Structure formats: structure tokens, C-alpha cells
């Protein structure tokens, strides 16, 4: 049987993305039309059709503004993780600022669900070589799984030569499992195939080939991610960021939902915690 793969959702609204933060102040977030609830509900309905339980990394800001959304995700049996409170890049924060943001997000989510939050993903995968100290803070604050280190070269994130498989890290404050977004290894390179803009840009046949290779040839689980705004082609077109970042944000939005349906037909998906547990017990590949 092929490995169980992790289906993850980074719950943030279209105006909260890192690519636009230079032009959209966080104090202005309440001024924008919120579309995250309806889009997340569409994802929940899609997952329910395929009987898939996923992991939702949710902004603390959203948890405070839309507690009913967090409650509905939790009630449906999905796993809840933190995606920070303010969606700030970690390498632009001090350790003290990061800790404060982490605690605030954790408290906001736990206040709704009544369950401990132990899983984290940094905004824009911003645990890099310059912010690796964040792993120690995560362990100190009781987190047991992180999914923030993308083993690729990118202008905003990534550690190119990082371990590409789920693996256990030893920090000064204890163990922490790292579950990197999936890459396809080709000619000594790490090609990102984990979701997001890559999923929207690549033909579905390319994604299918790469993920099947990861599962069948390497016996490695896929860590896949999507954002609610990626299934919303009618979202407002913002004049923010650069031409490049706008192109990344808006490419092929109208095709995402259909491609997600096909992906859910092709592969076995579940919660990230379940995938890590299978790695820890040796049931599927881990470093």
C-alpha cells in the first residue's frame, strides 16, 4: 500500500499573504472584504466528499475574528495547527517577538477548540538558515511537529540542502519532528511539488508523476499544502507587491479546485500528525 500523505491547509485570507505585506498594513486588514470563511468551507466540503481528514494551520488573527470557523474545522475531525498570529516572516522578527506571536496564536486557537496545539507552520516557510533558532523556541513552547523548512532555493524562503524527508530534530529544548513540504529529486536538484503556486502552475500530469514517484519509488509521504484563496478566482485583484509576486498569486486560480478533486481521487491523504506517527514507528520512510 502506498504511504499515507498529509493534506494541509494554510488558513489565511487573500490580503494577508507575505507577497503583499509591504503594501498592505496589518492595521488595514479589517478594511478588506473577508473571503476566508466561505473559501475554507468549500475546502471542508471537498474533503468531506472524499472522506479525508486534514491539518489546518490557522492564523491566530483569524481564530479571534472567526472562532466559529475554527470550531467547525475542529468539529469535522481535522487537525489544528498554528500558522502564527500576524503572518510575519520569522527571519524579520527577534526570538522574543516570535515567541510572543507564537504564544498568542496558540492561545487563540486553544481558546476555541479546548485542545492543545502542537503543530506549527511558519508564514511563507520562513524558517531558514537565518532563523533556525525558531526551532528551539517551538520546542520550548511545547510544539512537537513543524512543517516550515522547504528544502529548495527561493528568493523568500528555503534551505536548499535541508533534509527533504520527515525527520526528528534534536533541539536544546527537546525533540521536534520536521515535516518538509515535498520536493521531487531530479538531476541532483530539489524540484518543489508540494502545492501552492507550484500546484497551480504545473500541469496536473506533472504533479501526478512526481507525487507517484515519491510514494511508490521512494516510499516517502507527500506533504501537500493549499490556501483557501487559491480556489477563489473571483477574489479582488490587488495592486500590491511586484509583478512577479502578483503573477505567482493569481496564476491559474480558476483551475485549482478541479485539480484538487483529481488529486484527492489519486492519492491517500490524512492528517500531518498521522503521517509523522507512521514515520516515527517506521511504517513509512523517514530520515
**DSSP codes of every residue in 40-69:** HHHHHHHHHHTT---EEEE-HHHHHH-HHH
Q: Please check whether residue 164 is in contact with residue 124, taking contact to mean a CB–CB distance below 8 angstroms.
A: no
Place of cell 522547504: 150
Q: How far apart are CA 5 and CA 211, in angstroms?
A: 10
Question: What torsion do the CA atoms of 193, 195, 198, 199 make, to the nearest 10 degrees?
Answer: 100
Topology of the domain covering 5-280: TIM Barrel (3.20.20)
Q: How far apart are CA 235 and CA 254, in angstroms?
A: 11
Residues in the chain: 287
Contacts of residue 119, defined as CB under 8 A and 6 or more positions apart, other chains included, come to 55, 57, 79, 80, 81, 82, 143, 144, 145, 146, 147, 272, 273
pLDDT for the residue numbered 49: 98
Q: How far apart are CA 218 and CA 242, in angstroms?
A: 38
Q: What is the pTM of this model?
A: 0.95
pLDDT for the residue numbered 241: 87
pLDDT for the residue numbered 275: 97
Q: How far apart are CA 104 and CA 97, in angstroms?
A: 11
Q: Please, what is the angle between helix 256-266 and helix 204-212, to 10°? A: 30
Residue 286 has pLDDT above 70, yes or no: no
Tens-digit pLDDT profile for residues 143-171: 999 999 999 776 666 677 789 999 999 99
Overall average pLDDT of the 38-52 stretch: 98
Distance of alpha carbon 199 from the chain centroid: 13
pLDDT for the residue numbered 54: 98
Closest CA to 219 of 163, 139, 287: 287
pLDDT for the residue numbered 154: 62
Dihedral sign computed on CA atoms, order 162, 165, 171, 177: positive
Residue 1 has pLDDT above 80, yes or no: no
Residue 38 has pLDDT above 70, yes or no: yes
Closest CA to 93 of 61, 134, 54: 134
Q: How far apart are CA 217 and CA 6, in angstroms?
A: 18
Helix (H) or strand (E) segment spanning residue 100: helix 95-113
Overall average pLDDT of the 72-90 stretch: 98
Highest mean pLDDT among 149-153, 197-201, 280-284: 197-201
Tens-digit pLDDT profile for residues 52-80: 999 999 999 999 999 999 999 999 999 99
pLDDT for the residue numbered 65: 98
Overall average pLDDT of the 228-247 stretch: 94
Amino acid at each position: 500500500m502506498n504511504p499515507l500523505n498529509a493534506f494541509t491547509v494554510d488558513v489565511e485570507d487573500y490580503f494577508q499573504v507575505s507577497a503583499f505585506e509591504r503594501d498592505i498594513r496589518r492595521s488595514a486588514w479589517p478594511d478588506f472584504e473577508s473571503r476566508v470563511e466561505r473559501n475554507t468551507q468549500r475546502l471542508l466540503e471537498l474533503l468531506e466528499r472524499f472522506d479525508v481528514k486534514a491539518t489546518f494551520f490557522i492564523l491566530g488573527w483569524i481564530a479571534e475574528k472567526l472562532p466559529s470557523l475554527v470550531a467547525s474545522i475542529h468539529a469535522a475531525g481535522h487537525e489544528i495547527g498554528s500558522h502564527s498570529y500576524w503572518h510575519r516572516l520569522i527571519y524579520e522578527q527577534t526570538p522574543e517577538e516570535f515567541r510572543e506571536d507564537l504564544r498568542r496564536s496558540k492561545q487563540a486557537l486553544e481558546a476555541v477548540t479546548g485542545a492543545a496545539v502542537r503543530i506549527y507552520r511558519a508564514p511563507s516557510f520562513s524558517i531558514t538558515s537565518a532563523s533556525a533558532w525558531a526551532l528551539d523556541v517551538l520546542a520550548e513552547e511545547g510544539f512537537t511537529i513543524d512543517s516550515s523548512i522547504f528544502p529548495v532555493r527561493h528568493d523568500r524562503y528555503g534551505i536548499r540542502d535541508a533534509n527533504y524527508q520527515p525527520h526528528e530534530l534534536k533541539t536544546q529544548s527537546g525533540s521536534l519532528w520536521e515535516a518538509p513540504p515535498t520536493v521531487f529529486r531530479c538531476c541532483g536538484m530539489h524540484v518543489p511539488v508540494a502545492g501552492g503556486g507550484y500546484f497551480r502552475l504545473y500541469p496536473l500530469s506533472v504533479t501526478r508523476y512526481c507525487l507517484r514517484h515519491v510514494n511508490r519509488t521512494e516510499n516517502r509521504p507527500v506533504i501537500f499544502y493549499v490556501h483557501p484563496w487559491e480556489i477563489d478566482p473571483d477574489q479582488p485583484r490587488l495592486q500590491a507587491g511586484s509583478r512577479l509576486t502578483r503573477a505567482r498569486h493569481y496564476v491559474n486560480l480558476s483551475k485549482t479546485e478541479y485539480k484538487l478533486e483529481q488529486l484527492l481521487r489519486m492519492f491517500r491523504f490524512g492528517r500531518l500528525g498521522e503521517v509523522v506517527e507512521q514515520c516515527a514507528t517506521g511504517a513509512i520512510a523517514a530520515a
